[in-house]
Structure 1
Amino acid sequence: MKIIEDENSGEVVIDNIRIEGFIYDEKCKKCNNFLVYYEKYDAFFCAYCNEWVESKCRDKECEFCKSRPEKPL
C-alpha cells in the first residue's frame, strides 16, 4: 500500500484514492503504521487495517458521524 501526503492540496493519497486530510504522527495500536485524519468525517483511521480508531459520537444529527461508513476505504 502506498500512502503519501500532498501538503499543497491538503490531501492524502492512498493507492490512488485521494481524501482530504493528513497523515498524523500517532501510530495504529494494531499494526504500528501512521494514522490518517479524514477531514470529511472528522475522524482518524488506519489505512492498513481499514478501521476507524474512534467510535462515532452519540449525537444522531452529527454532520460527520451520521454519514460515516463502517470502513474508511
Structure 2
Amino acid sequence: MAQQTYTVTGMTCEHCVRSVTEEVGAIDGVTDVAVDLPTGEVVVTSDQELGADEMRAAVEEAGYQLTA
C-alpha cells in the first residue's frame, strides 16, 4: 500500500469534497481518499504510487487545481 498527500485549491464546500473524492477514488488502485476541506489536503491510499499526471487529471476533472 502507498499513501500520498496532495494539496488541492478551489474547494469551498462539502460538494467540492465529494467531487474530488469521487474523481480521485475512480483511479485504478485507489482504496481510500481523505479530503480535509480547510487545508485542501488530500490523502490518497492506493495499491501503488500514483503518477502526478493521473492525479492532476482526476482533480481537474472534478473542477479544481492540484498544487502539490
TM over 0.5: no
Normalized per residue, the structure richer in strand is: 1
Which structure is richer in relative contact order (CA contacts within 8 A, separation 6 or more)? 2
TM-score using structure 2 length = 0.27
For the pair shown, the structure with the greater C-alpha radius of gyration is 1
